[in-house]
Amino acid sequence: MHDRPRLEEAIDVLRAELDVGRSTKTELTTRAAWLAFMRFARQRFATAPTPDSDGLLFQYGTYAFSGRPMFTVDLTRQFDVSDDEGEHEHYLQVHCELRYEREPVLDALGSVDSWFFHDTNGDLDEWLATMERHVELLLARRPSEIDVYEEPV
């Protein structure tokens, strides 16, 4: 576990993966962001080997988080942060939000949310393939806005 990146490095790891998908001349496409998130999802971090210590959340819908309603795809990694005694202290979430101008075809998608947790019997590749089918319509598009941030929850 000591050869794995620390939780404090997670946002930098995600940003580095996102940078792989863009150059100074091109904007990030949804496909490139999704591929970056899949690489990020496969990397393991220095977490406790418990079923809820390292989770992935895929969610989308039309929300007004940034002021005006936009169709938002939120790709999130959630880590359990423990104190020195190993007790749960809080969660740290690392987000990559892709926002799109509202369109009837996007609004018609409704909303979806799905979790995957490492250190369970789940199949990560199967979960990622299922989530990719949810964003197929968006893969060739460029988001209007991209926000990468972390927050304690």
Q: Model confidence over 16-75: pLDDT tens digits?
A: 999 986 655 567 889 999 999 999 999 999 998 788 899 999 999 999 877 899 999 999
H/E stretch holding 48: none
Distance CA(14)–CA(80), nearest Å, equals 18
For the segment 79-135, what is each residue's pLDDT rounded down to a tens digit? Answer: 999 888 878 889 999 999 999 999 999 999 999 999 999 988 899 999 999 999 999
Residue 24 CB contacts under 8 Å (≥ 6 apart), including other chains: none
Residue position matching structure tokens 């089918």: 133
Structure tokens at 129: 């393939």
Determine the pLDDT at residue 126. 97
